[in-house]
Amino acid sequence: MIDIHCHILPGLDDGAQTEADFLNMARAAMEDGITTIIATPHHQNGSYENEKHAIMKATHIANDLLKENGFDLTIKPGQEVRIYGELLDDLQNDLVLPLNDTQYVFIEFPSAQVPRFSKKLLYDLQLAGKIPVIVHPERNQVFMKKPDMLYEFVKNGALTQVTAASVAGKFGKKIKEFSLDLVEANLTHFVASDAHNTTNRTFHMTDAYRVIDEEFGGDLVYFFKENAAYLLEGDHVMIEPPEKVKKKKLFGLF
């Protein structure tokens, strides 16, 4: 199993803080069936910078540490980028790191906002040959209230990634229901852990895929797992025509 979103690199952000934390997270990941992780430290979220060169170096050190300890796990470099106006310039100046140096770029919105320039920036990224992947839209208050806004982003070429813990119900019933609404409406393309530790923000990938299997069947589990593999290699991912979230579903959320 491939996890494309994880804060496992030690000492870079609010994820693993020490090498011991890193190894504990690695152990938990393997126990959950994960073989490859794209490490995605925060960038430009107000507290952390973590530019490309620093992440590449930290990833190399992390893989050496895994090898030294006999762990059958591989770390790939990535970055969780909080949306900001100069993102495209910094990407072109080699400061922003696409996922595993492919064409896919994580885009994080503030939890209670979708900036007015978002539509243009997502469009400009695609013009530059990049594919924006909006992370954890199910936890964004604007998208929860106005899911048609997310639909427009996806219709115009953006992809999205929901959090495994959200699907598994670890953030509460409302977020779980909205996550499943996004799956049902073809408004999300990846499931990833967004793990920060081994306690309150751990992996839950197996739990999430179990829920998806129970709700929608094994074909969708295959869809999400294959898309993670395609992304890792920089290949085209599978996309189904997006639909608007059904209004009757939303009444149960608020």
Query: For residue range 33-87, what is the model confidence (pLDDT) as tens digits?
Result: 999 999 999 998 778 999 999 999 999 999 999 999 999 999 999 999 999 999 9
Average pLDDT of every residue of the chain: 96
Residue 201 in this model has a pLDDT that exceeds 70: yes
* Percentage of the residues of the chain whose pLDDT score is greater than 90: 94
Rounded distance between C-alpha atoms, residue 232 and residue 78, angstroms? 10
User: Which pLDDT band, with edges at 50, 70 and 90, does 250 fall under?
Assistant: very low
Torsion sign, CA atoms 169, 175, 179, 180: positive
Q: Would you state the pLDDT for residue 137?
A: 98
Query: For residue range 118-143, what is the model confidence (pLDDT) as tens digits?
Result: 999 999 999 999 999 999 999 999 99
- 64: which residues sit within 8 A by CB, 6+ positions away? none
Question: Is the pTM higher than 0.85?
Answer: yes
Q: Would you state the pLDDT for residue 214?
A: 98
Rounded distance between C-alpha atoms, residue 42 and residue 118, angstroms? 18
Q: Would you state the pLDDT for residue 45?
A: 72
* β-strand partners of 37: 3, 75
Domains of the chain and CATH, by start? 2-250 (3.20.20.140)
Q: Would you state the pLDDT for residue 249?
A: 43
